[in-house]
Amino acid sequence: MKKHLTVALALLAILGLGAGLLPRTALANGAASTRNILLGAGAATYLIIQHNRVVHQREAAAAAQQAAVAQQRNDAWAAYHAAELSAHQEALANAELHKELAFEKSVVAQQQRQLAALHVGANFTHVVATTGSSHGSPQVVASDGIGWGTL
């Protein structure tokens, strides 16, 4: 029973306090009402503008990030393409060098065959000029051999 009394008193206290919080009819003042409407509309407009600004900043940051990723991808592709082109040009240069080396080897082989056909040994000296010697053997004065023979 004591519980019922406590609950009833608490309910009366809440209703008593709540009566003071119940909405009452407002005294309408035309100027104050218009001012409050304009201030509310201005505040709402300001909040919408700020929200849109934040949204646009986020979208711009996302777009900038996507552009940076695309630029990195394009830079990587350009670097790959440049390296591929460089490797191709190097392969062409190597092929040309191989052709040149093969040609030089064929020229050397041809010259060796010509020398072998002449039956010339390693001590080949082509005598350009000699002097008559009183001892019966000519003395070589000049030759066109490159370091071969004696002078």
Q: How far apart are CA 47 and CA 89, in angstroms?
A: 62
4 DSSP 8-state letter: H
- Judge contact between 125 and 143, C-beta under 8 A: yes
- Judge contact between 124 and 111, C-beta under 8 A: no
Structure tokens at 71: 């630029």
β-pairing, 127-131 vs 139-143, is antiparallel
What contacts 143, CB < 8 A, 6 or more positions away? 125, 126, 127, 128, 149, 151
Return the minimum-mean-pLDDT range out of 53-57, 74-78, 117-121: 117-121
Report residue 26's pLDDT band, with 50, 70 and 90 as the boundaries.
Answer: low
Kindly report the length of the chain.
Answer: 151
Between residues 133 and 100, the one the model is more confident about: 100
How do residues 112-135 score in pLDDT, each as one tens digit? 888 888 865 555 555 545 555 555
pTM over 0.85: no
Report residue 7's pLDDT band, with 50, 70 and 90 as the boundaries.
Answer: confident
* pLDDT confidence of residue 117: 82
Q: How many CB atoms lie within 10 A of CB 63?
A: 10
* pLDDT confidence of residue 32: 82
